[in-house]
DNA sequence: TTTGAAAAAGCTTTACA
DNA sequence: TGTAAAGCTTTTTCAAA
């Protein structure tokens, strides 16, 4: 219910930067009614507090030769072993995201690769690295990804 | 096997910007052995070609009051109806990503919200908006998300 | 925390190879 | 495509409130 430790101006800055990570301090200032150096300090503080964890370009995977995306759901083969899947899988570069989840499976991975053959190879490496069984769900269409979800209501018109 | 239409220098730039979307053209130039204005031109071209689709800040959802993430897997209730789930769901702001998938379900959504109660409310809105049944998988831990997967081998040491 | 001003750094264009 | 140089804008730091 409460939204801890982030006051409205900072939320606004976060929301703007989530949408355009290259927005200049000058423009952020205009959008928030602060001076350039005031926003600058706030952004640095947001970075220090780790509320902003980084900045990234959104890449068109389909067009750069990595058109195949899939979810790999993971189940440990031996539940008595220590569960360190995330660490064991970290070195595999095709894994974009790694979550542990509640439900029938223990982990979900989002992976990207060049072809079905590459996916088959990737699956083998995942199973071997973490001693798990896998269930793979191929992505057919990406309608959208990583839309900003900041819990902020956007600008009034004008 | 072939990686279409992106030559090595552009791949390098894409990879660097995926990791740091605020990197300056000067630094990109240093990293690629090009002049500032040469990289500048390349980046603009990459944006025009839509290989770079945008820039965003990575927000710490847990700390800004949106700590709950979940996957919602979707199955249409009436398979004879036209399948326009993505369009019907687009206005729901808690949906960060929307994929159609091969497998038992038709779509997977990644959503973020403030609390279990908010998730329950969100699920009701998803079902109502798209006339679907849902299966929800709650995220327990996010080990990492949105690691850059560019298919580029990174820098030599030095 | 904010501002305003000044210095440093970076961006963008132009002219040209 | 590329470079170099010039002019302009933004970033960053600082003293003061």
Average pLDDT of every residue of chain B: 91
Read off the pLDDT of each residue in A37-43 and give the average, rounded to a whole number.
Answer: 93
- Best A23, A57, A103 member to test B by mutation, with max B CBs in 10 Å, is A57
CATH fold label, B8-57: Arc Repressor Mutant, subunit A (1.10.10)
Neighbour tally for A81: CB within 10 Å: 11
Nucleotide nearest to B22 (CA to C1'): C10
pLDDT at A152 over 80: no
Instruction: From chain A, pick out residues whose CB is under 8 angstroms from the CB of B84.
Output: none
pLDDT at B155 over 50: no
- What DSSP string describes chain B? ---TT--HHHHHHHHHHHH-TT--HHHHHHHHT--HHHHHHHHHHHHHTTSEEEEEEEE-GGGGT--EEEEEEEEES-TTS---HHHHHTT-TTEEEEEEESSSSSEEEEEEESSHHHHHHHHHHHHHHHTEEEEEEEEEEEEE-------PPP----
pLDDT for the residue numbered A3: 44
Contact B101 A140 (CB under 8 A): yes
Contact A59 B49 (CB under 8 A): no
pLDDT for the residue numbered B152: 64
Read off the pLDDT of each residue in B120-141 and give the average, rounded to a whole number.
Answer: 98
Q: Read off the pLDDT of residues A43-79 as tens digits, 9 standing for 90 and up.
A: 999 999 999 999 999 999 999 999 999 999 999 999 8
Nucleotide nearest to B7 (CA to C1'): D1
Read off the pLDDT of each residue in A15-30 and give the average, rounded to a whole number.
Answer: 94
pLDDT for the residue numbered A9: 92
In this structure, CATH architecture of domain B68-138 = 2-Layer Sandwich (3.30)
Please, are residues A56 and B54 in contact by the beta-carbon 8 Å criterion? no
Q: Read off the pLDDT of residues A63-121 as tens digits, 9 standing for 90 and up.
A: 999 999 999 999 999 989 888 999 999 999 999 999 999 999 999 999 999 999 999 99
Nearest CA in chain B to A101: B139
Q: Is A14 on the interface with B (CB under 8 A)?
A: yes
Kindly report, as residue ranges, where domains of CATH 3.30.70.920 are found in chain B. 68-138
Read off the pLDDT of each residue in B47-58 and give the average, rounded to a whole number.
Answer: 95
Interface of B with A in 33-72 (CB under 8 A): 49-61, 63-66, 69, 71
Kindly report, as residue ranges, where domains of CATH 1.10.10.10 are found in chain B. 8-57
Q: Write down the pTM of the prediction.
A: 0.92
Contact B52 A54 (CB under 8 A): no
Contact A58 B69 (CB under 8 A): no
Nearest CA in chain A to B73: A137
Please tell me whether residue A103 adopts helix, strand or coil conformation.
coil
pLDDT for the residue numbered B1: 42
Does residue B32 reach within 7 angstroms of strand D, measured from its CB?
Answer: no
Instruction: From chain A, pick out residues whose CB is under 8 angstroms from the CB of B148.
Output: 56, 59, 96
Q: How many percent of chain A have pLDDT more than 90? A: 85
Mutual angle of helices B25-32 and B36-48, in 10-degree steps: 100
pLDDT at B41 over 80: yes
pLDDT for the residue numbered A72: 98
């Amino acid at each position: 219910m409460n939204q801890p430790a982030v006051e409205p101006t900072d939320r606004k800055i976060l929301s703007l930067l989530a949408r355009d990570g290259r927005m200049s301090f000058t423009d952020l200032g205009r959008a928030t009614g602060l001076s350039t150096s005031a926003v600058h300090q706030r952004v640095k503080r947001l970075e220090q507090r780790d509320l902003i964890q980084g900045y990234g370009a959104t890449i068109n995977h389909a067009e750069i030769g990595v058109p195949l995306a899939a979810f790999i759901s993971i189940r440990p083969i031996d539940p008595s072993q220590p569960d360190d899947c995330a660490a064991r899988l970290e070195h595999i570069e095709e894994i974009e995201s790694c979550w542990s989840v509640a439900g029938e499976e223990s982990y979900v991975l989002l992976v990207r690769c060049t072809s079905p053959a590459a996916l088959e190879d990737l699956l083998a490496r995942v199973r071997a690295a973490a001693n798990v069984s896998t269930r793979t769900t191929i992505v057919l269409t990406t309608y959208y990804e990583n839309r900003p979800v900041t819990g902020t209501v956007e600008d009034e018109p004008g």
